[in-house]
Amino acid sequence: MAHGLLGKKVGMTQVFDQEGNQVPVTVLEMAPNTVVQVKTAEGKDGYNAVKIGTDAVDPKLLNRPEAGVFHRAGTDALRHVREFRLSDDEVGNYNAGDKLAVDVFTPGQKVDVTGTSKGRGFAGVVKRHGFKGAKEMTHGTHEYKRHAGSIGCSAYPARVIKGKRMAGQMGVDRVTVRGLKVVAVYLEDNLLLVKGAIPGPKNGLVVAQASAKS
Amino acid sequence: MSSISIIENLDSLETRQDIPEFRAGDTLRVHVRIREGEKERVQVFEGTCISRHNNGVRSTFTVRKLSYGVGVERVFPLHSPRLATIEVKDRGRVRRSRLYYLRERIGKAARVRNLRDVHGGGRSRS
ipTM of the complex: 0.79
Per-residue confidence (pLDDT) for residue B5, from 0 to 100: 86
Contact A97, A73 (CB under 8 A): yes
Work out the percent of chain A whose per-residue pLDDT is above 90.
Answer: 77
- Calpha distance A85→B64 (Å, rounded): 58
**Partner-chain contact A191 B6, CB within 8 Å:** yes
Partners of residue A15 in chain B, C-beta under 8 Å: 10, 14
Q: Is the pLDDT of residue B118 over 80?
A: no
Per-residue confidence (pLDDT) for residue B126, from 0 to 100: 46
Per-residue confidence (pLDDT) for residue A209, from 0 to 100: 93
Provide the pLDDT confidence category of residue A16 given band limits of 50, 70 and 90: very high
Q: Domain coordinates of chain B in residue numbers?
A: 3-106
The overall average pLDDT reported for chain B is: 88
Is residue A167, in this structure, part of any structural domain at all? no
CATH code of the domain containing A16: 3.30.160.810
**Partner-chain contact B10 A191, CB within 8 Å:** yes
Provide the pLDDT confidence category of residue A135 given band limits of 50, 70 and 90: confident
Is residue A47, in this structure, part of any structural domain at all? yes
Query: Can you name the CATH fold of B3-106?
Result: SH3 type barrels. (2.30.30)
Per-residue pLDDT tens digits for A173-210: 999 999 999 999 999 999 999 999 999 999 999 999 99
- B27-36 β-sheet, strand order: B70-77, B60-67, B39-53, B27-36, B83-90
Q: Is the pLDDT of residue A55 over 70?
A: yes
Which residue of A8, A9, A14, A194 is the best one to mutate when testing the B interface, meaning the one whose CB has the most B CBs within 10 A? A14
Give the phi and the psi of residue A61 in degrees, each rounded to 5: -80, -15
- Calpha distance A32→B71 (Å, rounded): 55
Q: Say how many domains are in chain A.
A: 1
Residues spanned by the domain of A68: 5-107+181-204
Partners of residue A27 in chain B, C-beta under 8 Å: 6-7, 10
Question: In the predicted model, what is the mean pLDDT of residues A33-45?
Answer: 91
Q: Which of A170, A176, A183 is nearest to A199 (CA)?
A: A176
Which residue of B6, B8, B14, B58 is the best one to mutate when testing the A interface, meaning the one whose CB has the most A CBs within 10 A? B6
Higher pLDDT, A68 or B2: A68
Higher pLDDT, A27 or B125: A27
Question: In the predicted model, what is the mean pLDDT of residues A160-167?
Answer: 94
Q: What is the CA radius of gyration of chain A?
A: 23
